[in-house]
Amino acid sequence: MAKVRVAAFSISLDGFGAGPRQDINNPLGVRGTEVHNWFFQTNVFEKIKGQASGGSRGVDNDMAIRSFENVGAWIMGRNMFGPVRGPWPDEEWKGWWGEEPPFHVPAFVLTHHARVPLEMMGGTTFYFVTDGIESALQQAKEAAAAKDVRIGGGVATIRQYLVAGAIDEMHLALSPVLLGEGEHLFAGIDLHQLGFKVERTVAGENAMHVLVNK
């Protein structure tokens, strides 16, 4: 059965999914990249960069591979797509990932400002959704057909879908880092009340992978 899921989402030991003061020089916020160090060392990440032979191939890599399996569409916030704020000044910005983003399926970007769909190499087309998270989810489910919808982030996007009760499962990569400030993933959200339980934990080389579901 198709699911709506968060996969391989990195958080610090103190619960932050991004650092403070995000901008073009710090797309994940100040020190935010530290929570993703486990992923940056994998063969999956090397393949994204076009270097298929590098990177680790252990547990962390296996969990990264799993996060892309059976995904038919993505949903992301505008911050994940890029640093541009307010109305789009032009269509020059096409994401952080170059001409061939790593998604290879339709990706729905939450925004308050309309923009025509952006077709990229490798099967990724970005659709810019201005009428809310429910509309984005409906469109993503239709595009994914029988496959899963992956809620890609950032923190604010995941929190919105959690509060709406729309997420079926989460794979959180708990990194051995203390950020101390930034965007806290679960502040004010009662996961137990929402029906989540821990399914299992998997110790990776550089992160602890926690899988929770309803």
The predicted-structure confidence for 201-214, as pLDDT tens digits, reads as follows 999 999 999 999 99
Q: What's residue 29's pLDDT?
A: 92
Q: What's residue 1's pLDDT?
A: 86
- At residue 85 the predicted structure's pLDDT band, cuts being 50, 70 and 90, is confident
- At residue 50 the predicted structure's pLDDT band, cuts being 50, 70 and 90, is confident
- DSSP letter for 56, please: B
Cα(first)–Cα(last) distance of the chain, in Å? 14
CB atoms within 10 A of CB 14: 12
**Average pLDDT score over residue span 73-82:** 95
| Tokens encoding 26 | 């710090």
Under 8 Å between Cβ of 70 and 148:
yes
Bridge partners, residue 77, by sequence = 110
CA distance 49 to 63: 18
**Average pLDDT score over residue span 157-164:** 98
pLDDT top residue among 213 and 27:
213
The predicted-structure confidence for 105-144, as pLDDT tens digits, reads as follows 999 999 999 999 999 999 999 999 999 999 999 999 999 9
Residues near 190 by beta carbon (within 8 Å), at least 6 away in sequence: none
CA distance 148 to 74: 9
**120 closest CA partner among 136, 102, 137:** 102
Which domains occur in the chain, in start order?
Answer: 16-81+99-186+200-213 (3.40.430.10)
**Strand 4-11 relative to strand 183-184: parallel, antiparallel, unpaired?**
unpaired
> Is the per-residue pLDDT at 7 higher than 90?
yes
User: With the C-alpha atoms ordered 124, 130, 132, 138, is the resulting torsion angle positive or negative?
Assistant: negative
Please tell me the least confidently modeled range out of 23-32, 62-71, 199-208: 23-32
Angle (CA) 75 117 139, round 5°: 40
Q: What's residue 34's pLDDT?
A: 97
Output phi, psi for 205, to 5 deg: -70, -35
- At residue 53 the predicted structure's pLDDT band, cuts being 50, 70 and 90, is confident
**Average pLDDT score over residue span 48-69:** 94
**Average pLDDT score over residue span 75-91:** 92
Q: What's residue 24's pLDDT?
A: 84
Share of the chain above pLDDT 70, in %: 100
